[in-house]
Amino acid sequence: MIVVITISNLLHSGKIIHRRMNKVRLKLAVFALLLLQGCISYKHPTSAFINHGQPTANESYRTIREVAAASPLYSAIPRDRKQIRWFDAPHWLAWTFFGNENDGIFGEELNPPYSNMPSFKSFLAWWTRNPMANFCLYVIGSGDWKTHHSFSILQSDSAGTRILKSEKSPSVFGTGSSAIIIAFNDFKPYLSFKFPLGKYHQTDFYLGWRPRGHFGLKFRPYLKTSK
């Protein structure tokens, strides 16, 4: 029993150290980008992009977005690619790997915002939850396509089984409690499945380009459901 507890404690300590090291690396990377961006100015100020992604009339939400836009982090990480000059490599790199054009680097464009206090801590938390959002959605993804295409090689869910069929309303996991999808979304491969584990839990997994063009990977082996 003592040996088991000791090993468990060592593994737990190792996970904590690994998480801390990842945060340190991310801080160093952002600091390096702050140095690299130098004197190259934006074409448009960050304030021009407040409340443009998911508009809201809620005054408290707008205030959070205004506070976020004033953060020094946005001088290193562009809010929108329209701000970046074509020759500005440091800002392009920052936008690619640390930016989040849809929701903001603090998740401030969500309704409600991800955090009420935009800060480096909330940036780290949001980036960890949505790493390299612009890279996955716009660089290798097709998030800015005007029209998306989904073609099922095989899709089986509560609505039936479809083989070699275009999907008018594609989804990430399909309908019902059990489903499998093998498809091409915007001509790129996608695989997902889910199945129940007892009455109140399920397993789900996806890998590839989702229906709206975002590349992603997720595996939840024991997810609690609302049933």
pLDDT confidence of residue 171: 94
Token code pair at residue 19: 């998480």
Cβ contact 100:132 at 8 Å: no
* pLDDT interval class at 7 (50, 70, 90): very low
pLDDT confidence of residue 52: 80
- In the chain, what are the helix, strand and coil shares in percent, each to the nearest 5? 35, 20, 40
The pTM score is: 0.80
Rounded CA-CA distance 8/184 in Å is 42
Residue 103 has pLDDT above 70, yes or no: yes
Residue 8 has pLDDT above 60, yes or no: no
Residue 1 has pLDDT above 60, yes or no: no
Residue 67 has pLDDT above 60, yes or no: yes
Cβ contact 65:107 at 8 Å: no
Mean pLDDT calculated for residue range 194-217: 95
DSSP state of 138: I
Mean pLDDT calculated for residue range 92-120: 96
Residue 13 has pLDDT above 80, yes or no: no
pLDDT confidence of residue 53: 77
Neighbours of 113 (CB within 10 A): 25
Residue 97 has pLDDT above 60, yes or no: yes
pLDDT tens-digit map of 35-49? 555 568 999 999 999
pLDDT tens-digit map of 161-200? 999 999 999 999 999 999 999 999 999 999 999 999 988 9
Residue 3 has pLDDT above 70, yes or no: no
* pLDDT interval class at 2 (50, 70, 90): very low
